[in-house]
Structure 1
Amino acid sequence: ESGRWFAGAIALQVWSVAGPSDLKAVNMLMIKPFIVYNVVKRFDLIYEPYGISVYWNKPAGEKVYLPLGGGAEYEIPLGAKTTLNLGVQFFKNVIRPTKGTVYDLRFLIEFVL
């Protein structure tokens, strides 16, 4: 966190370690980055995709989802300790599996108590 900027990431690696032998093995990495730039009080520009995903068990060219894009979020005070956050983000998966999702559109309605 520095001035108007707030950034970080959460990473998660998932492996299957037990279960019936007829189930597919799981080996997936997901990195969830977030970047927030406070433009003015209660209004932010944001980059917070569902995550950058790598499916290690898939064939080459079919392993990665890499979303680029972003959006905005606005905070509406509702009381002394309650706010309503409204946001929208749009992403294009610039790297994706052949049959993967090309675009993601996210809407946010969030009550903060």
Structure 2
Amino acid sequence: MLLGLMGGLCCAVSSSAQEAPASGAGASEQDLVKATQNPVANLISVPFQDNLDLGIGPFHRARNTLNIQPVIPVPLTERWLLVNRLILPLVWQPNAAADTGGTFGLGDTSATFFISPRKPGALIWGVGPALLLPTATADVLGTGKWSVGPSIVALLQPDPWTFGVLANNVWSAFGSGDRPAVNQLLLQYFINYNLPKGWYLTSAPILTANWKADSDAWVVPFGGGVGKVFKLGRQPLNGSVSAFWNAVRPDAAPDWQLRAQLSFLFPEGKPGQQAPPAPPH
């Protein structure tokens, strides 16, 4: 699906870039690469991230989640920036007790709001609230609870690297009385090594912990992939593909995850600057 589209786009654009005359596009791509890896950069983006989970449950089923993740930064003052990030998941969830059938629909929506300095030092950071909204169209696709908690992101970008971490923990505040309470952690570290012509190597696994679980609370993946910032006509895009193995997981969790992401980028001013407006992945 998105994985195949990504491969075709990257190959086509890579080929056309080699034929294009030198006009500063290479430098622009490198600036955009750094900006896409910075959760509070001057960059509006609309990522489409497709996650294919493999080996779920006793029948080794597959689950697919397409996350639509608009990121819109808004300058508050000359010193501070508000970065607004939504994640709207479209989920195909297989039946847990059968080898056929499943449920498709919208999952719970995540909303995160980071306050960040517009002109940070070597350490770039943001902090703010994280919300989990019970927008799921079926019980199996969501928690049925309104949940809230703190979120933080911090990163360093010593050329040609990016090292960072993003974390939040949410607790259920109210919602359906017959659904379990929510107390869950999301922790994502990201490591990128930037290569010439907009290419980069990346590792950005998402670790989760369900503190309400009786046992096997953690899902801990390891893996990585490759990506490239390129242009399709005048539209800057950021594409990447990755694979992750869940080294620690509950029995019902997937063995593997394949991730493909395509982001539409809308830089304002010069890419990579901190002045007016936005973030990673």
Structure-2-length-normalised TM-score: 0.37
Unaligned 5+ segments in structure 2 are: 1-156, 267-281
Q: Which has the higher contact order (CA 8 A, sep 6+)?
A: 2
C-alpha deviation, 1:20, in angstroms: 4.2
Task: Work out the CA distance in 1 between the residues paired with 2:182 and 2:245.
Answer: 25
Pick one of 191, 195, 210 that aligns with 1:55: 210
Identity across matched positions, percent: 33
Instruction: Look up the equivalent residue of 1:31 and give its one-letter code.
Output: L
State how far apart, in whole Å, the 2-side matches of 1:77 and 1:40 are: 15
Match of 2:187, SS state, is strand
Question: C-alpha separation between the residues in 2 aligned to 1:17 and 1:84?
Answer: 38
Distance in 1, Cα, partners of 2:186 & 2:193: 23
Shift of 1:55: 0.3
The alignment status of 1:88 with 2:241, answered yes or no, reads yes
SS at match of 2:260: strand
Corresponding residue for residue 167 of structure 2: 11
CA distance in structure 2 between the partners assigned to 1:78 and 1:18 by the alignment: 45
Higher strand share: 1
Q: Distance in 1 between matches of 2:179 and 2:261?
A: 35
Q: Distance in 1 between matches of 2:199 and 2:243?
A: 17
Larger Rg: 2
Distance 1:103 1:96 in 2: 10
Confirm or deny that 1:23 pairs with 2:23. no
Distance 1:18 1:76 in 2: 44
Q: How many residues align?
A: 110
| Superimposed CA distance per residue, residues 14-46 of structure 1 (whole angstroms, 9 cap, x where no aligned partner) | 111223432211110111211111022300000
CA distance in 2, matches of 1:112, 1:91: 25
